[in-house]
Amino acid sequence: MEEIYLTSKLPILALRGITVFPEQTVHFDIGRVKSALALESAMKNDQILMLAPQKNILEDDPDLGGLYSVGTVVKVKQILKSHNDNIRVLVEGLYRAKITELSQFTPFLAGTVEKKLNVSTKENLAARALRREANALYGSYLDLVEHPAQTVHLRMLASEDCGFIADAIAQNSGIEYADKAKLLCQLNPVRRLESAVHLLRQEIQILQLESDIQDKTRALMDQEQRDYYLREQMKAIREELGDGDEYSEFAEYEKNILKLNLQPELESKLMKDLERLKKQPFGSAEASVLRNYLDTVLELPWNIRTKERIDITAAKRILEHDHFGLEKVKNRILETLAVRKLAPEMPPQILCLVGPPGIGKTSIAYSVARCLNRKMARIALGGIRDEADIRGHRKTYVGAMPGRIINGVIQAGSKNPLLLLDEVDKMGADYRGDPSAALLEVLDGEQNKTYRDHYLEIPFDLSDVVFIITANTTDTIPRPLLDRMEIIELGSYTDEEKVMIAKNHLIPKQMEKHGIKKRQLRISEDAVREIIQCYTRESGVRNLERYIGEICRKTASMILSDEAFKCNTVSGAKVESMLGVRKFLPDRIPGSDQVGLVTGLAWTSVGGETLEVEVNVMEGTGKLELTGNLGDVMKESAHAALSYIRANAEKLGVPSNFYKTMDIHVHFPEGAVPKDGPSAGIAVCTAMVSALTGTTVRRDVAMTGEITLRGRVLAIGGLKEKTMAAHRHGIHTVIIPKDNERDLSEIDPVVRNALTFVTANTMDTVLETALNRHCEITPAILQDIPGEIKSISRKPSIRQ
């Protein structure tokens, strides 16, 4: 029968991955705070501790349900503290016990335990045979693991207690943790020993399989060493015979290295790597790395150059053929070629083409390569965030490769190519480095003569490379990098330029691409203008080309579906049936002059736009409301305009106490579009004055300029794009700052001849031009306005 008696309350320590059996001495480490506190409590009393194995070793704080039902009461023999705050404990198992009640959960586990005695069994021959088998199996186990446990084995041989032998086997073998916990819960000694023998026999089989696998692996390694020894013998025999060196791989490498005629230190470096390759065993990872490295170095065009051709007349003809308009850019490129012709020893200038998308920046680079008769490679930099993409990876890394600059030179196959660094403004930076910083050496004519890629580890001369860089904006380009480049700004195409580009380039290109003959499709000029104005609002011609391609596809479908088809003539009225509903309505000016409504001009990344400013005045307490998704700078401009009006209220004919009795609401339509910048300042001021005085604003007048507190009109940017938008909107008169008068020469002649420009130094000129109040102007204002403003001509002119 099983005997049970109650012990006193004990601290409980949960074990993970280890099980302690009675009459066994075990050491283990403690790291959990609860476990350390339980140990400390035991040491303060009689050093008696309850050890309970937990079911889930991943659980950090188990409760009673997370522990096995039976554990071991132990006596702590020794405690050692390690440098990493862990505690090593040496304990001796006393007896099995069961936790009947968990009376304490914090700060450590404690509870009442019941001592569990082994079930008494009678000694018989079966038990004796079982003990002999257990001892024999454990001896075989020790032979396989070479474990120094002979003392334990001797104690087992001397014992006639089946329970002790089973506990000793479980404690001192590699039986699984869960199986050990089950053995701990088994109180019948004979049954426990039967289970232990069964588990030990399984463990021995596993160890025998592991031994077989190790023997096979060792035999395979011996075979590889034997093969390497034989290959070395064959190599020595070939060297003695003097036969086969010319055709060997290493001889081919050496021949190609010598053929490059490199500097002595570079040649020595490559020959050293070749010697290292010769010493590598066949199939090793290091040999593969060295082969890839030598292949990359030998692939570089160290001595291959293209003969440069600089013919200004031919270059001009190529540029005119490939691109319509862009005269400023073409002239600047021709100037660069002329300098290159007269001073070929000078390092090539680095040109950065900046402009909105779709205006031909990349295609200009291809044309320059044709002009110079140089090979070209395009390197896309958009989205690059890793410095190693530019300078390469160290060849010690798995999958290492050279950077994009060296790869571009290899792709071009020439030492003096033209490299196009596209979208340089789209580069980023993160914890892996800043690629723009890596470009500083590449684009510096004094440093790139000895450019070192991390993968190559030897210098390569980039001084003969012509770099052309493209970007949509310079705002995101770091200043040190920007200083190394010569900026050429490309503006938006005018509608007239787009019409000519479509007629001369896009339509023929798309018709050829879609297999349509000239007699099968005719697109009128009115149709092209309809597409430009009502389907594309862009600075370039990409969308225009897409819509022309769509017309070609529909024409191709008509050709194949209609046997009587002769020609598809697309006029302006037919565009909507071909392309669907208009994406944009044509810009129209209001039907009449209105109060508080002013047309401003804005610059966007895809060209210029008109920007309406609406102002309402209501009775109130002087509150200023600004709406329309405005940025901080635009809000500050509105406040500056209001301060100017308050300071000059009497002069402007505005009630002096309006800022106390009236609320002013300034709104910019299209509220979903973010707006910012100071150039709408004079438009806001004009709209406020119109609303406060009840004076209408001329609907055919648009304006742009920054306002100061004293009413001065400051210069703005993007005048070319803004005037294009005014011309497209049907505006007749444009008010611009006086300081922007010098920029009128860059405006397209068609736009310049269609508009009347009024240059203004102060708000007096702006208000006199825009407001319909000639009869109400005070003498003070008349004295400040030049005489020629009083009658504004519709002919091309400049007013002040």
- So which residues are the catalytic ones? 679, 722
CB atoms within 10 A of CB 603: 21
Angle between helices 312-322 and 327-342 (to 10 degrees): 160
- Spell out a b/e string for 77-91, using b for 16 or more CB atoms within 10 Å of the CB, else e: eeeeeeeeeebebeb
How far apart are alpha carbons 764 and 276 in whole angstroms?
83
CA-nearest of 563, 562, 561, 555 to 579 is 555
Residue type, 420: L
For residue 747, give the 3-state DSSP assignment. coil
How far apart are alpha carbons 766 and 777 in whole angstroms?
13
How far apart are alpha carbons 251 and 497 in whole angstroms?
61
* Residue 471: strand pairing partners: 354
CA atoms within 13 A on the CB side of 645: 27
* Residue 376: strand pairing partners: 418
For residue 512, give the 3-state DSSP assignment. helix
CB atoms within 10 A of CB 521: 23
Q: Report the DSSP pairing between strands 109-116 and 70-81.
A: unpaired
How far apart are alpha carbons 123 and 125 in whole angstroms?
7
Q: What are phi and psi of 597, to 5 degrees?
A: -125, 115
- Spell out a b/e string for 666-696, using b for 16 or more CB atoms within 10 Å of the CB, else e: bbbeeeeeebebbbbbbbbbbbbbbbbbebb
CA-nearest of 304, 301, 287, 303 to 250 is 287
Q: Are 43 and 79 in contact (CB under 8 A)?
A: yes
